[in-house]
Structure 1
Amino acid sequence: MVTIAPHGSWESPVSAELAAAGDGRPEHLGAVGDEVWWTAPRPAEGGRRALVRRRADGTQESVLPAPWNVRNRVHEYGGTPWAGMSTPDGPVIVFTDFADQRLYAFEPDSASAPRPLTPLGAVGGGLRWCEPQLRPERGEVWCVLEEFTGEGPSEVRRVLAAVPLDGSAAQDRGAVRELTDDSRRFVTALRVSPDGRQAVWISWDHPSMPWDGTELRIAQVGDGALTGARTLLGGPQESVAQAEWLPDGSLLAATDRTGWWNLHRVDTTTGAAVNLCPREEEFAAGLWKPGQRWFAPLPSGLVAAVHGRGDTRLGILDPHTGELADVPGAWTEWAPTLAVHGERVTGVAAGPYTAYEVVELDTRTGRAQVIGAAHEDRVDPAYYPRPHHRTFAGPGGREVHAHVYPPHNPEFAAPDGELPPYVVWVHGGPTGHAPLVLDLSLAYFTSRGIGVVEVNYGGSTGYGREYRNRLREQWGVVDVADCAAAARALAEEGTADPARLAVRGGSAGGWTAAASLTSPLTEGLYACAAVIYPILDLAGWACGETHDFESQYLVSLVGELAEVPERFAERSPVNHAERVRAPFVLLQGLDDVICPPVQCERFLALVEGRGVPHAYLTYEGEGHGFRRADTMVSALHAELSLYAQTFGFDAPGVPPLELKG
C-alpha cells in the first residue's frame, strides 16, 4: 500500500549512516605478479585508506592494519601511493603513509613491520612522495618528490627522484638521488621504455593547469640518470594527460590537440603524432591526481582504454587498425585506474544502480567479472533513484548537460498537485565531471521525496576542449548560469516546485552554490543552499590562501588579479553578503588547506546580524573532502534539516539544525 505524504517527509531505509558507510571507492589498482592490489576507503576507521590484496585464488585481505593510511599529500589531493613487485619470497611493497608522508617498504608474507625508506621533512609541508616505481635492478624506487623549501604553501619544488631500497635514505636526505632538475613546476607520470634506454614524463608550469597545457618530456637513461631532456609533445594550448610505451617500443600519448583527448602514436625523434582512433570522445580527463591512468598497454600490443562522451566505457583498442571493442556490461563510469596482468585488465567501474567495484576483463574471452569491492544492495534497490540524462538550453541556446534524479520511493507518493522540491548538485573542480552512478548520499534525498539534478555545467570534462573552455575567465558566471538554467527548466516544465529549489556543492561546487546566493543571475531563484568547504573570496585564494597546485588556477578561471581586480571583487560572495537572502548551511573541515576555514569565517562575519537564517558546522580532523563516517552523517542530517525547515516538511528522526539569523 502506498502512503500519501508530502515530499521530503517520506520514510526511507537509506539512512545517513548507510550512506556514509558506502562512501568512497577503490583506487590505485596495481598488479603484483598474479595478484591485484588496490586502496579502499574505511570511513568507520577515521577515513583511512586501506591496502587490499587479492590473491590469485580470489581470497582478499587488508594487509596493513589501522592506523596505517596508504595515502599521500602530493598536490594536496594525493597521487598514486603504492607499488609492488613479485619475488620468490613473496610480494615487496612500497607505500606512503599519510601520517608522516614517508615512503615505506614491507614484505607482507614476512613477520617484519614496514620500514621507512625516506626521512621526515623539517620545513613547511616536509617531504612528500608519490607514484613509486620499483627498479630492483638498481636497488631503487623511482618516484615523484615534492619538497617544501619554506613555510609558505608555494615554497616547494618537485623533481623525479630515486630512493634506495636498502633504507639508507631513511635518515639522510642526501642519499636521495634526483633524476631531473626543478626547472618545471610539476612533474608526473615517469615511464621507462621497454629497453630501459629512454624515459618520458609529463610536466607543466604555472599558471597552466594540467588540462590547459602540459609537455611530454623525453630523456635518455644512462647509469640511472636522465640526460638530454627535451620536449617531445605538447605546449601551453595542448594537454597531454598520459603517455605509455607499447611492448614494441613505440610510444602512445593521450593529447587533446584535436579538441578531444584522443590516443596518438608519437614519433620519439620528431614528435610527430598520429591519431589512432579519431573520435569526438575523451580518452582521458583532467589530471587532478598524479598517477591517474586512462589507458594501459597489454603484452599482446593491444591497448585497454577508458573512453566516452559524458559516460565512459572500457574498450580494447588495436593500435594498428584503430578498431575499438567495448566491454559488455551495465557500467557507465570507469575510473582512471587500470592494472594489467597478462592478458587481463582490471579497472574500477560503476553504474546507475551499482556502486564502484573492481572489474576484471579477460581479453582472450571478452568476459568481464567483478573480483573485488562487489556492490551489495544494503537496502532494497527499489529505493534507488531512477536517473536519466538531460540536455538543457543555457544562455544563448548553449547545451548544458545534466542528470536528473526524480524523487522515488515505492512506499510513498505525494498528494495530488504537489510538485517536489529539487536540489541542484554542483560538482567540484570546477574542471571535473558528475558521473551517472549510484550514490547513496543522493539516494538519501530522492528516497525522501526530494529531487536532484546534477549539472555538468560549461567547464566540465567529458565533452571536449571547447565545452571545457567555456569557463575560461567566466567562473562565477557560466557555472552559475548553467546550473540556474537546469533549475528553471525543471520548474517551467512542471517537474520541480519553483518555490522550493535549492543549490548545494562542495569545493568549487561550494563556490558556485555560494555565488548563486549572491549573483544577479540567480536572484530569487533558490530558497536555500548547502555550501560545503567552499571558495568564497577570490582575492584571498589568489594571494596565498590555498595550496600550490591551484594557486594560479584563477588566472584561467577569472583572469590576472592585477589586471581585473574588479572582476575578482564583483564575483566573490564574501564581497556581497548584503545580497544573501536565502537560508544556508556552511560545512567546513578545520584541517582544509585547499579551501581554508578563514574564508568561511570572513564570510560569516559579514552575514551576521542581517537576519538570514544560517548555520556553520566545523569538523576537527577533516580536510578537503569529508572522509569520516560521523562527519558525513552529521553533514547529511544538517542538509536535510535545512531543507525541511525551508521547504516546510517534517524530517522524522533527523536532529533539527539550529539556524541563527
Structure 2
Amino acid sequence: MATIPTSPHKKKASALAAQQEPITAPYGSWKSPLTADVVSGASKELGGIAIDGHGSLIWLESRPTESGRGVLVREPEKPGDEPLDITPQEFGVRTVAQEYGGGDFTVSGDIVIFANYTNQRLYRQSITSLDVPPIPLTPDYGGPVVSYADGVLDARFNRFVCVREDRRDSSINATTTIVSIALSSKDVQEPEVLVSGSDFYAFPRLDPKTNRMAWIQWNHPSMPWDRSELWVGYASENGEIHKSTCIAGGDPSLVESITEPKWSPDGELFFITDRENGFWNLHKWIESENKVMPVYSLDAEFTRPLWVFGMNSYEFIQSDKKKSLIACSYRQKGRSYLGIIDYVGSSTITVLDIPFTDLDDITSGKNSLYVEGASAIHPLAVAKVTLDDQKSKVVEFDIIWSSSSDILKYSPYFSEPELIEFPTEVPGENAYAYFYPPSNPTYQASQEEKPPLLLNSHGGPTSETRGVLNLSIQYLTSRGWAYADVNYGGSTGYGREYRERLLGQWGIVDVDDCCSCAKYLVDSGKVDGERLCITGGSAGGYTTLATLAFKETFKAGSSLYGIADLNLLRAETHKFESHYIDNLVGGDKECFERSPINHVDKFSCPIILFQGLEDKVVPPDQARKIYQAVKEKGVPVAIVEYEGEQHGFRKAENIEFTLEQQMVFFARLIGHFKVADDITPIKIDNFD
C-alpha cells in the first residue's frame, strides 16, 4: 500500500538542525519560505468528485489564480499524463443556490450537466467530445436570477431532476422547488415543477427503476440540522410525482435532522438521521412495514451539516461474496474514519487504515473508492483506495488530485495540531480546540519568551474546524506565532447536545469558550497572555467582534466579512439564513443587546476588517458601520474592501493581501517585534 508518511518533516527538520544551530530571534519575527503568494497560489478548493462512464475520476476545482473560477477536470488516461480540463475557458462551474452552492455538476456516462457561474444556467456537455461547446438546458432570464443544484438524471423520462432557487420575484425571499428539465427537446423549455410548497428542498434522489423519488425538505424557522423531513413520492405515467408520503421527521414529538437519502441497488431507501442517540447515524426505511430502522449505531457523526448541496458521505459497494456493504466516513472526537458496514445480519463495521485523518465525500469506482480527505501533514486531496476482495483491507492508496501538490517541500516548517479539551465557564462542561505551536527549524526564541497567539473562531456557527493542513495557519506558525482553532459549544462533530449549546446563546457561549481557550493556553504556559489576538470569518467574525465588545481577554482582532448588527442581518440576509438567528439569539431585544455595533463604547483594542463588496450573506454595510464607529471612538482601526468578492475570498491576490495585512496589523500594534517579510502596511486610523 502506498501511504503518506506519518511525519515526513520531522526527519527533514532534524537534518536541517544538524547542519546549523537555530537562530535565536523573537517569536513573530522569523523568516519563512511559506510566503503569502505560496499560500494563495496553492489554495485550490474542491467542489465535488464523480466517476464517468469509462471509470475515470472527474473533479471540480476552484482556482484562486483564475479569480476562483470553477473547472471540471478529468484524471489522465495514462500514468504520467496531465489531467484534462473539461470546462471551456469562457465557463465557470458554480451554482449560487442558497448562496453557498454545492451540487454544481452531475456526471452520467459521457455527459456532464453543470451550472455556469456568470448566468446560473444549466449546460450539457460531452466529456469525450470537447470540441463541441456546452449546450444550454435552462432559459436565459437576462441575469443570474435562477439557480439550480443537486441534480440527478432520470433515464425513464429523459430529464434532469434538481433543486431550483428562483429569485425573479425576490432576491431575499426566493422560491425553492424540485423541478425537471427536459433533455430530449431541441429548444430550451421552462422547467416543470415536481415538488413545491416547502421553504427548502435538497437531495432529490431516484430509485434504480426511477419509480420513486426521495427528498429532504424543511421550513422556517428551522435550519436543516435542527429539524427536517424525509419524503418519498411515486412517479406517474406522465412523470408527475404523486402519492407523496413523509417517511421520517413528521412526528412533532420527535425532533430530528435528516439528510443524505440514497437508494441501494436493490431499491431500499437509506438515509442519515440523529433520531436515535443525538448523532447523525445511518438508517433505512422498511417500506413493507413503513418503519425506520438504524443500520449501525455509534456516538459519531456520519455526515456534516447541510450548508452546501450535494454531500455524499456514504456509498454502496459489493464484494466478491455478494455482501451488502456500505462504505462510509464518520467523525468521532475530532478525527475522521473510513469504514465498511455490512448492513445485512449483524450489521458490523470494519475500519480501514488510511493516512487521512479527515474525510468528506466518498465516490465508488471500479473495485475501488475515491475519497476526499486530508491530514495534519497533507493538504486536501482525492485518493483512490483499492480494497481487497473481502473489502476489509486497503491494498493501494494513491493520490489522484491534491490542492497543493508541491507544498510538501515545505514540510519541515509545518506545525502539527494538538487536540485540546479545556474547561468552559459552565461547570462540568468542556470544549475543544486544535493548538498549533510555532514551528520553524531555522529559528528558536529565548526560553523566557512565550509566543503571541492568534485564536480563530470558525464560521457557521453550526460548523466545525478540523485539524488538517491549512497553509494560512502554517504561514503564521512558521513565523513564530501560536495558533488556536476553537470548536466552541454549538460546533458540529460532537452530536446534537453539543450542537444545541448555542441555541439562544450565540454571542455568549461561543465568546466565553474562545476566552476560556485563550486562558487555558496562557495558564498552561503555551502562549503570552499580553499578546492574545482573535480572528474569524462570517459568523466567526461576529464572535470576534462580540468578544472584543463584551470581553477584555484579547488585545487585538481581525474580522473577515463578520456580522456586526444582528437585526440588520435578519433584515438583509438571504432566505436560507433569514430565520437562523431566531433560534440562535432570539428577537429584536436580544439581537440588539448582542450586536457589537450597539456597544462600540466597549471597544478598547485595535481591529482590522476585511470585506467583499458583493457579499449577500453579510452585506458590506456591516463592516463599514463598525469601522466608522470604532474610528470615531478613537481606537486604532483599518478596513480593506475587495471588488468582485462575495462571502469568502476566492481571488489569489486578495487571499495574499489579507494574510499579509492581518499579520502586519497585529505585529505593529501588539507584537513588539518586526516581521521579516517586506510588506507595505496599509493605513491604520487613530494610529499612523
Shorter-normalised TM-score: what interval?
over 0.9
Moved more, 142-151 or 530-539: 142-151
2:294 is matched with which residue: 261, 270, 275?
Answer: 275
Q: Does 1:226 align with 2:253?
A: no
Shift in Å, 1:429: 0.5
Cα offsets for 1:419-459 (capped at 9, x unmatched): 10011111110000001100110000000000001000000
Residue from 231, 241, 247 that aligns with 1:217: 231
Q: Give 1:378 deviation, angstroms.
A: 5.0
Amino acid at match of 1:238: E
Residues 575-614 of structure 1 aligned to structure 2 (within 5 Å): 575-614=598-637
Is residue 550 from structure 1 mapped to residue 577 from structure 2 by the alignment? yes
Matches within 5 A, 1:578-657: 578-646=601-669, 647-652=671-676, 653-657=678-682
Q: Secondary structure at the match of 2:439?
A: coil
Deviation at 1:92, TM superposition (A): 1.4
Distance 1:362 1:382 in 2: 30
Give the conservation status (yes or no) of the 8 Å contact 2:544–2:557: yes
8 Å Cα contact 1:82-1:95 kept in structure 2: yes
The residue type equivalent to 2:113 in the other structure is V
CA contact (8 A) 2:51 2:363 kept: yes
Matches of residues 147-296 of structure 1 in structure 2 within 5 Å?
147-154=166-173, 156-166=174-184, 168=186, 170=188, 172-173=189-190, 176-180=191-195, 182-223=196-237, 224-235=239-250, 237-257=255-275, 258-268=277-287, 270-296=289-315
Q: CA deviation at 1:613?
A: 0.7
User: Could you tell me how far apart the structure 1 residues matched to 2:398 and 2:425 are?
Assistant: 43
Q: Number of aligned pairs?
A: 642
Contact 1:347 1:360 survives alignment (8 Å) = yes
Structure 2 Cα separation of the partners of residues 342 and 169 of structure 1: 36
- Provide the C-alpha distance between the structure 1 equivalents of 2:152 and 2:244, rounded to a whole number of angstroms: 20
Alignment partner, residue 533 of structure 1: 561
User: Take 1:389 and 1:298, find their aligned partners in 2: how far apart are those partners?
Assistant: 33
Give the Å deviation of 1:270: 4.8
Q: Which residue of 1 aligns with 2:33?
A: 13
Residues 606 and 636, structure 2, Cα contact 8 Å, conserved in 1: yes
CA separation of 1:349 and 1:535: change in aligned 2, threshold 3 A: same
Letter of the structure 2 residue corresponding to residue 586 of structure 1: L
Instruction: Give 1:269 shift.
Output: 5.0
What is the Cα deviation at residue 387 of structure 1? 1.3
Percent identity between the aligned chains? 32
Choose 365-374 or 305-314, whichever is displaced more.
365-374
Q: Deviations over 1:165-188 (max 9, x none)?
A: 245563x42xx22211x2111111
The answer on 1:476 being equivalent to 2:495 is no
The answer on 1:389 being equivalent to 2:419 is: yes
Aligned-partner Cα distance in 1 for 2:240–2:158: 14
Instruction: Calculate the TM-score normalised by the size of structure 1.
Output: 0.94
Asked if 1 retains the 8 angstrom alpha-carbon contact of 2:372 and 2:381, the reply is yes
CA shift, 1:657, in A, is 3.0
TM-score, normalisation: structure 2: 0.91
What is the CA distance between 1:509 and its match in structure 2?
0.5
Partners of 1:132 and 1:232 in 2: how far apart?
A: 21
1:499 aligned residue = 530
Q: For each residue in 1:548-572, what CA deviation from the matched residue of structure 2 results, as whole angstroms up to 9, or x when unmatched?
A: 110110111112x2xxx32111110
Question: Does the Cα contact within 8 Å between 1:117 and 1:168 map onto a contact in 2?
Answer: no
Q: Please name the residue that 1:102 is paired with.
A: 121
Q: Secondary structure at the match of 2:362?
A: strand
Deviation at 1:192, TM superposition (A): 1.1
Distance in 2 between residues matched to 1:211 and 1:489, nearest whole Å: 30
- Distance apart, 1:251 and its partner CA: 1.6
Matches within 5 A, 1:390-539: 390-397=420-427, 398-519=429-550, 522-523=551-552, 525-539=553-567
CA distance in 2, matches of 1:68, 1:326: 41
Which of 104, 121, 126 is the matching residue for 2:145? 126
SS, match of residue 556 in structure 1: helix
Contact kept? 1:304, 1:316, Cα under 8 Å? yes
Q: 2:364 matched to 1:340?
A: yes
What is the SS of the residue equivalent to 1:382?
A: helix
- Confirm or deny: 8 A CA contact 2:163 2:202 kept in the other structure: yes
Q: Is this contact kept in 2: 1:115–1:167, CA < 8 A?
A: no
Letter in 1 for 2:154: R
CA distance in structure 2 between the aligned counterparts of 1:4 and 1:410, rounded to whole angstroms:
11
* 3-state SS, counterpart of residue 380 of structure 1: helix
Q: Which residue of 2 aligns with 1:48?
A: 69
Match of 1:327 in 2: 352
| Larger displacement relative to structure 2 (310-319 or 69-78) | 310-319
1:424 and 1:503 in contact (8 A); partners too: yes
**Number of the residue aligned with 1:39:** 60
**CA distance in structure 2 between the partners assigned to 1:65 and 1:17 by the alignment:** 26
Distance 1:152 1:100 in 2: 15
Give the Cα separation in 2 of the matches to 1:555 and 1:21: 39
Question: One-letter code of the match for 2:584?
Answer: L
Distance 1:485 1:169 in 2: 61
Query: Which residue identity does 1:392 align to in structure 2?
Result: F
CA distance in 2, matches of 1:528, 1:368: 48
Aligned to 1:475, the other structure's residue is in SS state coil
- Give the structure 1 partner of residue 23 of structure 2: 3
Deviation at 1:330, TM superposition (A): 2.2
Alpha-carbon offset, residue 609 of structure 1 = 2.2
Give ranges in structure 2 of 5+ residues lacking alignment. Answer: 1-20
Give the secondary-structure state (helix, strand or coil) at the position aligned to 2:645: coil
Secondary structure at the counterpart of residue 363 of structure 2: strand
Show the counterpart of 1:316.
340
- Post-superposition offset of 1:55: 4.9
Q: Tell me how far 1:486 sits from its aligned partner.
A: 0.5
C-alpha RMSD of the superposition: 1.6
Question: Contact between 2:451 and 2:528, CA under 8 Å: does it hold in 1?
Answer: yes
Shift of 1:327: 2.4
In the aligned structure 2, how far is the partner of 1:98 from the partner of 1:574? Answer: 34
The one-letter code sitting in structure 2 at the alignment partner of 1:21 is G
- Structure 2 distance, partners of 1:239, 1:4, is 53
**Cα distance in 1, alignment partners of residues 85 and 498 from structure 2:** 41
Which letter maps to 1:316? I
Q: Distance in 1 between matches of 2:90 and 2:675?
A: 36
Distance 1:447 1:157, change over 3 A: same
**What amino acid maps onto 1:84 in structure 2?**
V
Which blocks of at least 5 consecutive residues in structure 1 are unaligned?
A: none
Q: Partner of 1:286: helix, strand, or coil?
A: coil
8 Å contact kept, 1:129–1:143: yes
Say whether the 8 Å CA contact 2:154–2:206 is kept in structure 1: no
SS at match of 2:679: coil
